[in-house]
């Protein structure tokens, strides 16, 4: 589903370049549940942004569901992201003064989906994460765990191929973290949605079948080959 070959990315720092991703080779199959670990500054978020078509890279190749992403402009990449990729971020990335329902509907509002039926789909998504009764509340009236559920519902509404999570439990206590991880596991198992989550928490990586460790922009450890992960079945 995803294939990165020899991907490099540099950030300009003053007159020199800082290499944030170095020779990344990575293959991800449909239905995998992967954690990316590593010290702060290792390049985990950068990799996630590249995977999520949020950021460009300087050399190498990236194929997403059979499409060469490198040759895509921002408009096309954005449209693809809108249809296929859901995000769950540490700070939730919700619009706090808008309602839960509006937040969940937002990706569909950006898509070609007609307005009719959107509300029902949003309520269904909220049902799946167990907070349908909060639909009318504003996001800033919710707890951290509830907000992360809203973010997951927003990812689910587009029926994505891939959910990318950047430290999804970083702002939550351990019990709430566990609930969120169980939710992600359930989504991964029940619907075959690929989940890639960046973390430095041991708790999170325990939930994942494949562990990738990064350091200085490189992948230094990749515990299960994609083929074997696929062979395990979903």
Ligand X SMILES: Nc1ncnc2c1ncn2[C@@H]1O[C@H](COP(=O)(O)OP(=O)(O)O)[C@@H](O)[C@H]1O
Give the DSSP letter string of the chain.
-EEEEEEEEEEEETTEEEEEEEEEEEEE-TT-EEEEEESTTSSHHHHHHHHTTSS--SEEEEEETTEEGGG--HHHHHHHHHHHEEEEETTTT--TTSBHHHHHHHHHHTSS--STTHHHHHHHHHHHTT-GGGTTSBGGGS-HHHHHHHHHHHHHTT--SEEEEESTTTTS-HHHHHHHHHHHHHHHHHH--EEEEE---HHHHHH-SEEEEEETTEEEEE-S-HHHHHHH--
CB of 196 to another protein, least distance (A): 15
CB of 198 to ligand X, least distance (A): 6
Give the x-and-dash track for 5-44 against ligand X (CB under 6 A).
------x-x----x-x-----------------x-xxxxx
Binding positions for another protein, 59-78, rule CB under 8 A: 74-75, 77-78
- Picked from ligand X, another protein, Mg ion, none, the partner binding residue 177 (CB below 5 to 8 A depending on kind) is none
Out of 91, 173, 182, 232, point to the residue binding another protein (CB under 8 A).
91
Q: Does 199 bind ligand X (CB under 6 A)?
A: no
CB of 9 to ligand X, least distance (A): 9
Q: How many residues bind Mg ion (CB under 5 A)?
A: 1
Binding positions for Mg ion, 31-90, rule CB under 5 A: 45
Residues forming contacts to ligand X in the complex (CB under 6 A) are: 11, 13, 18, 20, 38, 40-46
Residues forming contacts to another protein in the complex (CB under 8 A) are: 45, 49, 52, 54-56, 74-75, 77-83, 85, 87, 89, 91, 93-95, 97-98, 102, 106-107, 109-111, 114-115, 154
């Amino acid at each position: 589903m995803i294939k990165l070959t020899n991907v490099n990315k540099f950030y300009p720092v003053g007159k020199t370049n800082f290499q944030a991703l170095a020779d990344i080779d990575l293959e991800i199959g449909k239905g995998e549940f992967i954690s990316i670990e590593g010290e702060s500054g290792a390049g985990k978020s950068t990799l996630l942004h590249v995977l999520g078509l949020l950021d460009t890279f300087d050399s190498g190749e990236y194929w997403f569901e059979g499409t060469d992403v490198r040759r895509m402009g921002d408009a096309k990449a954005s449209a693809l992201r809108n249809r296929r990729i859901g995000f769950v971020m540490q700070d939730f990335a919700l619009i706090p003064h808008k309602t839960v329902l509006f937040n969940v509907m937002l990706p569909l509002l950006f898509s070609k989906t007609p307005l009719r039926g959107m509300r029902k789909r949003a309520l269904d998504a909220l049902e799946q994460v167990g907070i349908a009764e909060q639909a009318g509340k504003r996001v800033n009236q919710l707890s951290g765990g509830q907000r992360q559920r809203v973010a997951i519902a927003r990812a689910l509404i587009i029926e994505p191929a891939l959910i990318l999570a950047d430290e999804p439990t970083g702002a939550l206590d351990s019990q709430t973290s566990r609930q969120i991880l169980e939710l992600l596991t359930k989504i991964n198992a029940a619907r075959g949605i690929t989940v890639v989550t960046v973390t430095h928490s041991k708790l999170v990586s325990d939930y994942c079948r494949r562990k990738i460790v990064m350091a200085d922009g490189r992948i230094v450890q990749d515990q299960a080959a994609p083929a074997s992960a696929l062979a395990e079945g979903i």
